Amino acid sequence: MIILGSTGSIGVNTLIVAKKYGLDIEVLVAGKNIELLNSQIKEFKPKKVVISSKEDLHKVNHTNVRYGEDAILEAIENSSSNIVVNALVGFLGLKPTLKAIECKKKLCLANKESLVVAGKFIDKTNLRAIDSEHFGLWYLLNDKKISSMTITASGGSFRDYPLETLKNVSIKEALNHPNWEMGDKITIDSATMTNKIFELIEAAWLFDTKNIDAIIEPKSIIHALINFKDGSSTAHIAGVSMQLPIAYAIMDKIEDEILKQVDLLGIGSLEFKTIDENRYPIWSKKSEVLENLDLGLILNASNEVAVSKFLSGKIGFLDISKINLDAIDRFSNLKAQNIDDVFLINKEIRGYYGY
């Protein structure tokens, strides 16, 4: 198979699953972590490697190594593997998503931004979502009539901070997720609750529903619930690990133990809370976004600029939400009519907010 983003949090977990099942790795794609990439090359012996930057080519211990976006697309096109795991982060993941679908591969999609920005142009027939909540929903589906779906949120890094301290929080604090070990960008999205808005959009596209909401479950043990018309609710409970969603996405059917069962007596108690708009201002846009899924493209573009500015120390944590709210108000009339528009609108909004 092909792993895009092999050195990231999802990429590393994908390789653990691949090793467990003895799967062949044809292509590895990574960014700047060449040391980890080299150890992956040594262990998994891919036929081809792609990295982000020309200047790192000489550091990669492989005879067939290329760089850049076009090389990623070529690697997908010229591969014999049927499976592509897209664990790239951000808008960068969209073209590889489209290429994998065009080449009729099974697409195991962690890059939720692809669906957020272009869900209406993406053929989901051969797509398996790698996201804990959506995996949970998929796991719970049966043929009974559904009333609504619920996904859970951890609350992110600042869920217990006094509100008045949020304007001065540091990058290091923001990157300290209470439950999950994830890449920087999604960890910030979790702290602002933008990740959960993205996940509502993702669920809307995957399950063709707008009857979807989120609540806080601080332990991230319950990932999703389905509320059935008959009054029953079922919940997906599993450990805090992406290996289960990844294993199902790749293998389709799983009969062995991937994770240890959650020890409910060890957990002791569970708590549920509503998502407070004062702490997470983007949540005030939930209904508007669900009514108009085109806002995903707008929000993603402003958010990528804002998160990158925050992570480079140019703006404060609260500015991320301010920029995102501004973008939704300012650009809510923009709608992509085709996939080319998606790239144009993304560029326009990024340009407006700085880069």
Ligand X SMILES: CC(=O)[C@@H](O)[C@H](O)COP(=O)(O)O
Ligand Y SMILES: NC(=O)C1=CN([C@@H]2O[C@H](COP(=O)(O)OP(=O)(O)OC[C@H]3O[C@@H](n4cnc5c(N)ncnc54)[C@H](OP(=O)(O)O)[C@@H]3O)[C@@H](O)[C@H]2O)C=CC1
Annotated binding-site positions for 1-deoxy-D-xylulose 5-phosphate: 112, 132-133, 154, 177, 190, 195-196, 199
Residue 211: name the closest of 146, 304, 281 by CA.
146
Q: Return binding residues for NADPH.
A: 7-10, 31-33, 111, 113, 183
Contact 212, 151 (CB under 8 A): yes
Q: Which residues are annotated as a binding site?
A: 7-10, 31-33, 111-113, 131-133, 154, 177, 183, 190, 195-196, 199
Nearest alpha carbon to residue 2 among 61, 67, 68, 88: 88
State the minimum distance, in angstroms, from the CB of residue 61 to ligand Y. 15
CA distance 268 to 32: 42
Amino acid at 124: K
Among 27, 41, 149, 182, binds ligand Y (CB under 6 A): 182
Residues 243, 246: Cα–Cα separation, whole Å: 5
Q: Which stretch binds ligand X (CB under 6 A): 27-35, 69-77, 163-171, 189-197?
A: 189-197
Binding mask 261-300 for ligand X (x = CB under 6 A): ----------------------------------------
Taking only Cα atoms into account, the Rg of the chain, rounded to an integer number of angstroms, comes to: 20
Q: Does 213 bind ligand X (CB under 6 A)?
A: no
Check: CB of residue 147 under 8 Å from CB of residue 212: no
For residue 183, what are the CA distances in angstroms to 5, 9, 196, 270? 11, 6, 16, 26
Q: Which of 7, 40, 86, 190 binds ligand X (CB under 6 A)?
A: 190
Rounded distance, CA 274 to CA 55, Å? 48
Of residues 115-154, those binding Mn ion (CB under 5 A): 131-133
- How would you class 106 by CB atoms within 10 Å of its CB: exposed for 0-12, middle for 13-18, buried for 19 or more? buried
Taking CB under 6 A as the criterion, the residue among 196, 236, 285, 286 binding ligand X is: 196
Position among 195, 303, 321, 324 found at the interface with ligand X (CB under 6 A): 195
Residue of 67, 65, 59 lying closest to 34 (CA atoms): 59
- Our finding on whether 154 is near ligand X (CB under 6 A) is yes
Q: Which of 108, 122, 174, 186 touches ligand Y by CB under 6 A?
A: 186
Nearest residue to ligand Y, scored by beta-carbon proximity: 8
Contacted entry of Mn ion, ligand Y, ligand X, none for residue 89, CB cut-off 5 to 8 Å set by kind? ligand Y
User: Does residue 203 bind ligand Y (CB under 6 A)?
Assistant: no
| Sites for ligand Y among residues 10-49 (CB under 6 A) | 10-11, 29-33
**Cβ–Cβ under 8 Å, residues 85 and 3:** yes
By the rule CB under 6 A, 109 interacts with ligand Y: no
Q: Which residues bind ligand Y (CB under 6 A)?
A: 5-11, 29-33, 52, 87-89, 92, 110-113, 131, 180, 182-183, 186, 242
